[in-house]
Amino acid sequence: MGEVDILISGGTILTLDENETKIEDGALAIKGDTISAFGSSKEIELLYSGEKTINARGCLVMPGIVNGHTHAAMTCFRGLADDLELMNWLNNYIFPAEAKNVNEELVYWGSLLACAEMIRSGTTTFCDMYIFEDETAKAAKKAGMRCLLGEVLFDFPSPNSQSPAEGLDYTKRLIETWEADPLVNIVVEPHSLYTCSPSLLRDSKALAENYGVPLATHLLENRGEVEQLHDRLGKKATLFLRDMGLLDDHFIAFHCVCMDDEDIKLFAEHGSKIVHNPESNMKLASGVAPVTRMLDHGVPVGLGTDGCASNNNLDMMQEMDAAAKLHKVFTMDPTVMDAKTVLKMATAEGSRALGMESEIGILRQGMKADIVIVDLNQPHLTPMYDEYSTLVYAANGSDVRDSIINGRIVMENRELLTINEKQAMDKVNDISERVKRGMVPE
């Protein structure tokens, strides 16, 4: 009988693989950081004994959720300013609050709090863009979360760098520092086409190619940006990206609200990826991304929450629900964005969008053991006709009972094992008091 580290037994396993394999009364064996086997409980329990066993009877066992785009440290600004016109929100609240307050301490504790919230709601991997990202990497490492993150780059100074060159240099150091880390992965992240010169974009691409890491940016988030870019670039943004050599299968674009079929086809032809952020796009009235057409063209589309200042939580279960419903009413077709499609955007397709599909996103022998267990034994998840539908339309993040990342149990029975939650909340509350004192009255 094989010895494994963890044996999860008795739950319904949703692998989310290409056959949508589902195993009722299933078991899954984890050795080290890897899924070593799965099958019926009867079969797996005969073959393996686990040093640690988890009883998942009455639960769903599924791949950890991938939050494809966020700004983790912005938990510190959650609810600071809402229901405002975009430029008023940015220029009079968010940017001044960031300029005055963002430092290494804020980013570390804000990111750690975000990790606590993400683990509690089923996310095991997140893709992040912010300032002082080495602190976010340290927080993720502390939390035991998998991540793909990069320092935000733009033409103007940030609290962490005086120039684009300093930002690129910081990114280079991030890549080298975290190169061998099993959890932390780095991406080069110019902020957007409207805040980065062609030369910064070129240097970003050179850095990414040199180290073989992806490049990601905000793109076409709203109508104003489309017009601004057309004036600035003299052509459509996607054609500009293609001509600059940025569009390839290492390119990830966040938002992509204002894309026409030509833009989508360009992405499809070049193997580029998109992360959709429905709740943020709704809350900021940015618009509705043409996700169903992106999927029709075979573009990998992941799902993300965006930062807490424009959502205002990091609950990917709620994000799935919003994504499914938004596109149904937007297209006036209730059959689009069915529960399976949306659950995949948050797992298998989400990992493809980040270029991590060889490691995570589905449950299969040899994949990294990033697994969450959802407790079905609750009034709002009763009865059970369809697991996909239950997860997307009825569940919320608080229904996640256990979480395992890279073979390590990070939450058990709703208790976080890697983070001192109270300390993280206290620190962020202290930071928020400073932020409040620094706010200019309206």
Tell which positions 297-356 bind a second copy, by CB under 8 A: 308, 311-315, 318, 321-322, 324-326, 328-329, 331-335, 337-339
What is the x/- site pattern for a second copy, positions 142-171, by CB under 8 A?
------------------------------
In eight-state DSSP terms, residue 161 is B
Tell which positions 28-67 bind a second copy, by CB under 8 A: none
- For the bound state, the minimum distance from the C-beta of residue 261 to a second copy, rounded and expressed in Å, comes to 21
One residue of 99, 198, 436, 438 binding a second copy per CB under 8 A:
436
Q: For residue 297, report the phi and psi dihedrals to the nearest 5 degrees.
A: -85, 0
One residue of 9, 121, 217, 277 binding a second copy per CB under 8 A:
121
Q: Which helix (H) or strand (E) holds 353?
A: helix 348-353
Cβ atoms of residues 216 and 192 within 8 Å: no
Measured in whole angstroms, how far is the alpha carbon of residue 403 from the centre of its chain? Answer: 16
100 lies in the site for a second copy, by CB under 8 A: no
- For the bound state, the minimum distance from the C-beta of residue 148 to a second copy, rounded and expressed in Å, comes to 22
**Tokens standing for residue 330:** 């937007």
Measured in whole angstroms, how far is the alpha carbon of residue 395 from the centre of its chain? Answer: 19
- For the bound state, the minimum distance from the C-beta of residue 9 to a second copy, rounded and expressed in Å, comes to 21
One residue of 14, 44, 74, 76 binding a second copy per CB under 8 A:
76
Helices 133-143, 164-177: inter-axial angle, 10-degree rounding:
20
At 217, is the secondary structure helix, strand, or coil? strand
78 lies in the site for a second copy, by CB under 8 A: yes
Select 246 or 309, whichever has its Cβ closest to a second copy. Answer: 309
In angstroms, the CA 421 to CA 117 distance is 9
One residue of 100, 141, 142, 283 binding a second copy per CB under 8 A:
283
417 lies in the site for a second copy, by CB under 8 A: no
If one counts every other C-beta atom within 10 angstroms of the C-beta of residue 219, the result is 27
**10 CB-near residues (< 8 Å, 6+ apart):** 25, 26, 27, 41, 55, 56, 57, 58, 59
Select 274 or 342, whichever has its Cβ closest to a second copy. Answer: 342
Residue 246 to residues 148, 208, 255, 262, 362, Cα–Cα distance (Å) = 19, 10, 17, 17, 29
**Tokens standing for residue 401:** 């009972």
Q: Which stretch binds a second copy (CB under 8 A): 31-39, 243-251, 275-283, 366-374?
A: 275-283
- For the bound state, the minimum distance from the C-beta of residue 120 to a second copy, rounded and expressed in Å, comes to 6
1 lies in the site for a second copy, by CB under 8 A: no
- For the bound state, the minimum distance from the C-beta of residue 334 to a second copy, rounded and expressed in Å, comes to 4
Select 283 or 293, whichever has its Cβ closest to a second copy. Answer: 283
Q: Which stretch binds a second copy (CB under 8 A): 22-30, 140-148, 267-275, 378-386?
A: 378-386
Tell which positions 219-248 bind a second copy, by CB under 8 A: none
**Binding-residue total with a second copy (CB under 8 A):** 72
**DSSP structure string for 108-147:** HHHHHHHHHHHHHTTEEEEEEEESSHHHHHHHHHHHT-EE
**427 CB-near residues (< 8 Å, 6+ apart):** 105, 109, 112, 113
- For the bound state, the minimum distance from the C-beta of residue 359 to a second copy, rounded and expressed in Å, comes to 26
67 strand-pairing partners: 126
- For the bound state, the minimum distance from the C-beta of residue 183 to a second copy, rounded and expressed in Å, comes to 20
One residue of 19, 212, 234, 379 binding a second copy per CB under 8 A:
379
Q: Which stretch binds a second copy (CB under 8 A): 43-51, 70-78, 187-195, 345-353?
A: 70-78
- For the bound state, the minimum distance from the C-beta of residue 251 to a second copy, rounded and expressed in Å, comes to 26
279 lies in the site for a second copy, by CB under 8 A: yes
In angstroms, the CA 126 to CA 351 distance is 10
In angstroms, the CA 387 to CA 58 distance is 12
In eight-state DSSP terms, residue 13 is E
Write the single-letter amino acid at 288.
Answer: V
Q: Which stretch binds a second copy (CB under 8 A): 3-11, 122-130, 235-243, 283-291?
A: 283-291
Cβ-based burial of 53 (10 A; exposed 0-12, middle 13-18, buried ≥19): middle
Q: Which helix (H) or strand (E) holds 387?
A: helix 387-389
- For the bound state, the minimum distance from the C-beta of residue 70 to a second copy, rounded and expressed in Å, comes to 13
- For the bound state, the minimum distance from the C-beta of residue 398 to a second copy, rounded and expressed in Å, comes to 4
Q: Is the dihedral of CA 355, 31, 409, 28 positive or negative?
A: positive
431 lies in the site for a second copy, by CB under 8 A: yes
- For the bound state, the minimum distance from the C-beta of residue 88 to a second copy, rounded and expressed in Å, comes to 9
113 lies in the site for a second copy, by CB under 8 A: yes
